[in-house]
Amino acid sequence: MEVKMVKPKTEEEIELMRENAILVSKTLAEVGKVVAPGVTTLELNRVAETFIRDNGAIPSFLGYDGFPAALCISVNDTVVHGFPSDYVLKEGDIVSVDCGTLYKGYNGDSAYTFPVGEVDAETRRLLDVTKESLYRGIAAAVDGNRVGDIGHAVQSYAESFGFSVVRELEGHGIGKRMHENPGVPNYGRQGHGAKLTDGMTICIEPMINAGTRGVYLAENGWEVHTADRRNSAHFELTVVVRKGRAQQLSTFEYIENNVKF
């Protein structure tokens, strides 16, 4: 059965979404500057919410289906949807920071997994492979392809390093609503799934586990953990499907040019 698609965005809509995406990208960089051993995840949330509001936007995760914070902050074996808390970051941790904004009626969404101080070689490889798998997925987000082409690109790359792809969670369309069609799984078969057309705006977000792909939902109904309690990494960017080559709306450049790892 064909998935009902939202209409491709106009160029004016895409420009508003680009403004959102840049704000989210800058917010993640502000958070990254304070990621360090001894800092609580609540402090990361405070930094983000202040920056978002100071720039005239609304933290769209706060209150979304009852979510209690401006950021999803997921440490080590927490895959996604972690609550900011009094947890104090430690040397060798990794922390996924997922951020959303609402600005001028449109949504922005992006995520980055930061190392806390020095991390071991396997953890560094997990971060590098997960981020590269995202870029492989973006390369497949072109007019005429299907979401299975994106998923296949992510899956084949991540699994070639012995890592596992989480299947219970996926990327998504984005626009006036945070989550629109189509769903964008991080696994799949080439040439299968919803068709991608010029002007569609989607979030691609690999969630890659160091160990097995199994996950479980915490008692709070939000936090997703790896079943084997090994680390998981998560990177997300918002892109526009285009003919020939996808257009990135959000970027990691603000992080990678301003945050020391």
The predicted pLDDT at position 7 comes to 80
CA-to-CA dists, residue 98 to 67, 232, 244, angstroms:
13, 14, 29
CA angle, 223 as apex, 233 and 127 as ends, to 5°?
A: 5
pLDDT tens digit sequence for 168-209: 999 999 999 999 999 999 999 999 999 999 999 999 999 999
pLDDT tens digit sequence for 46-65: 999 999 999 999 999 999 99
* Whole-angstrom distance, CA of residue 40 vs CA of residue 166: 27
Q: Is residue 44 part of a domain?
A: yes
The predicted pLDDT at position 1 comes to 39
Q: Is residue 124 part of a domain?
A: yes
Which residue ranges in the chain fall short of pLDDT 70? Answer: 1-5
* Whole-angstrom distance, CA of residue 259 vs CA of residue 255: 5
Instruction: Determine how many CB atoms are found less than 10 A away from the CB of residue 191.
Output: 10
Residue 93, amino acid: D
Tell me, what CATH number does 89's domain have?
Answer: 3.90.230.10
Q: Is residue 161 part of a domain?
A: yes
Domain that holds residue 209: 11-258
Q: Is residue 116 part of a domain?
A: yes
The domain total for the chain is 1
Q: Is residue 5 part of a domain?
A: no
Q: Is residue 6 part of a domain?
A: no
Q: Is residue 4 part of a domain?
A: no
Q: Is residue 157 part of a domain?
A: yes
Residue showing tokens 């899956």: 155
The predicted pLDDT at position 2 comes to 47
Question: Do 187 and 154 touch, CB atoms closer than 8 A?
Answer: yes
